[in-house]
Amino acid sequence: MAEPLRIALAGLGTVGAGVIRLIEANAALIARRAGRPIQVTVVSARDRNKDRGVDLSAFAWEDDMVILGERADVDVVVEMVGGSDGPALALARTTFEAGKSLVTANKAMIAHHGLELATKAEAAKVALKFEAAVAGGIPVIKGLREGAAANEFQRVYGILNGTCNYILSTMEDTGRDFGNVLTEAQAKGYAEADPAFDIEGTDAAHKLSILAAIAFGAKIDFTAVATTGITRIRAADIAQADALGYVIRLIGMAEPGRNGDGPALFQRVHPHLVPVDHPLAHVDGATNAVVAEGNFSGRLLFQGAGAGDGPTASAVVADLIDIARGEIGAPFSVPVSELEALVPAETGHRAGRSYIRFMVTDRPGVLAELTAAMRDAGVSIESLIQKGRTEEGGEVMVAMVTHEGPESSVSEALRLLDGSPSLTEAPLVLHILED
C-alpha cells in the first residue's frame, strides 16, 4: 500500500475530536477506499492539557498552529479552529504557502476569504476542500461540483441552518412561541448561548454564498446575500401557514438573474412558506436539505444531518479521501480566474406570491386601510384572515396571501402603510416557495 496521507489537525473541539475518532474507528476501510492510510501526525489547539475524550499521545503537539503546514511530517492541514479571520485564516495562508492542502469546515472563512484562498491553493496546485462547511455531513458541495456538474443550474435552495429548522419545526409541532422554543433549544445544545449568528440567518447566508459560487460559477459574494432571520416568526404565523397548507422554513436560495442586459446573481436567505407537498416541508429538526435544479438532471435533493461532530467529521474525512486519491481540482469547480463577478440581482421585478402579516389595533376601518394600500400598490389579495378579535382597541393579527405579482408592489404597499397608527409593529413579509 502507498505511503500514508499525513494530517495535521488544528483545533480540538467536539468536531476536531470527532475527526480523530472517525479516522481511528474506520481506519481500515478508509485505507482500502483511499488506497492509502490516513493518519493524524500532529495536533494543535489552545490548551494542551484539556481532556477531550480522545487519546492524543500518538500525535506530535505543535504550540503554534499557524506553522502546521510547514512541518515535514504533514501533507494536509485540517482546520477546525473556526472564525473567519484570526488564526484560522493565518493557518490557511501559511499552509498554501508551504505547498500543502487544506481541509476546513469553516464556512465563515470560506464565505469571506474563499476567493483569496482558492487562488493560493490553485497557484500551489494543492487542494482546498470544504465539504463540511455546508450542510454538515451531506455531500452537497460534491453533488454540485461533480455529481451534477453536467448541468446549468436554474436554482439552488435549501434548509441550511439546523438551529433555525429545529426552532421552526418545534414551534410547528408544539404551538409554542419563538422565545420559548429558543430557550429550550439552547438548553438542549441545538442553539448557541449567543444565537444571533444562527437565528438572524448569517450562518445560512455563509453557506448559501458558497453553494451559489459553485453552482453559478460566480466569485463568492457573501455581502450580496439579502438576509432575514426567523426572530419575528410567531406561533400564530405558523398556525396560519398550516391552515393554508404550508409550513414555514428558513430557505436560502440562489439563482441567476438579469439586471437590464447584464447578468446578475440572486442570493437570499428568508423565511418561506413551503407547500406541504414539497420535499422540504418534511425536513424537521436539525436536518438540512439542499435542492439543486439542473437543466438536464431536473430537481435533485440532498438531505441529512446539518451539524454535529459525527456528520461534520464524515464530510472532513471524505475530503481527505479525495485528496488521498489524488482528486485535487478547483475548489469552486472552475478555476478562480474563470469565476464571474456577478452583481446582486435586483428583486423588484421578481414575480411571486407572498404571505403578509400585520399586527394592528382592532378598530373600525383598519381592514379597509390595509386593503386600500394593497389596491393602490397593485397587489392582488388571494386570501385574508383576521385573527384574535378582542375588545375594541386591542391588537389583532391580519394575515393575507397575495396572488402572484412583482415583489416591488408588495414593498410599495408597505411603504404606503409606513407610519400608519393602525400598525402596532412592522408588517412581516414571507415569500411562498414556488415549485
Catalytic machinery residues: 207
- Selected from 16, 195, 217, 331, the binder of a second copy by CB under 8 A is 217
Q: Which stretch binds a second copy (CB under 8 A): 172-180, 301-309, 402-410, 423-431?
A: 301-309
Q: Shortest distance, CB of residue 403 to a second copy, whole angstroms? A: 27
- Selected from 296, 364, 389, 419, the binder of a second copy by CB under 8 A is 296
CA distance 262 to 226: 20
C-beta of residue 252 within 8 angstroms of C-beta of residue 268: yes
Using DSSP bridges, classify how beta strands 5-10 and 38-44 pair: parallel, antiparallel or unpaired: parallel
Indicate whether 308 belongs to the interface with a second copy (CB under 8 A): yes
Q: Which is nearer to a second copy, 326 or 348 (CB)?
A: 326
C-beta of residue 249 within 8 angstroms of C-beta of residue 281: yes
Residue with C-alpha cell 439546523? 162
- Selected from 229, 294, 331, 427, the binder of a second copy by CB under 8 A is 294
Cell numbers linked to 121: 491553493
Cell numbers linked to 329: 481540482
Q: Which is nearer to a second copy, 62 or 309 (CB)?
A: 309
Site for a second copy in 311-330 (CB under 8 A): 311, 313-318, 320-322, 325-327, 329-330
Indicate whether 24 belongs to the interface with a second copy (CB under 8 A): no
C-beta of residue 44 within 8 angstroms of C-beta of residue 25: no
Indicate whether 27 belongs to the interface with a second copy (CB under 8 A): no
For 79, list phi and psi in degrees, rounded to 5: -100, 115
Indicate whether 123 belongs to the interface with a second copy (CB under 8 A): no
Cell numbers linked to 42: 500532529
- Selected from 149, 243, 341, 351, the binder of a second copy by CB under 8 A is 149
Indicate whether 127 belongs to the interface with a second copy (CB under 8 A): no
Q: Which is nearer to a second copy, 43 or 305 (CB)?
A: 305
CA distance 75 to 124: 13
Using DSSP bridges, classify how beta strands 262-275 and 226-227 pair: parallel, antiparallel or unpaired: parallel
Q: Shortest distance, CB of residue 372 to a second copy, whole angstroms? A: 41
Maximum pairwise Cα distance, the chain:
82
Q: Which is nearer to a second copy, 77 or 330 (CB)?
A: 330
Q: Shortest distance, CB of residue 281 to a second copy, whole angstroms? A: 8
- C-alpha distances (whole Å) from 431 to each of 86, 95, 134, 252, 355 are 37, 43, 23, 12, 6
C-beta of residue 69 within 8 angstroms of C-beta of residue 77: yes
Q: Which string of DSSP letters, residue by residue, matches 307-365?
A: SSHHHHHHHHHHHHHHHHTT----TTSS-GGG-B--EEPP-TT-EE-EEEEEEEE--TT
- Selected from 70, 146, 200, 369, the binder of a second copy by CB under 8 A is 146
Indicate whether 151 belongs to the interface with a second copy (CB under 8 A): yes
Indicate whether 54 belongs to the interface with a second copy (CB under 8 A): no
Indicate whether 172 belongs to the interface with a second copy (CB under 8 A): no
Tell me the per-residue interface mask from 173 to 212 with a second copy, x by CB under 8 A, - otherwise: ----------------------------------------
Q: Which is nearer to a second copy, 65 or 247 (CB)?
A: 247
In the three-class reduction of DSSP (H, G, I as helix; E, B as strand; rest coil), residue 172 is classed as helix
Indicate whether 32 belongs to the interface with a second copy (CB under 8 A): yes
Sign of CA dihedral 49, 53, 58, 61: negative
Interface with a second copy (CB under 8 A): 18, 22, 25-26, 29-30, 32-35, 131, 137-139, 142-143, 145-152, 217, 277, 279, 282, 289, 294-305, 308, 310-311, 313-318, 320-322, 325-327, 329-330, 333-335, 338
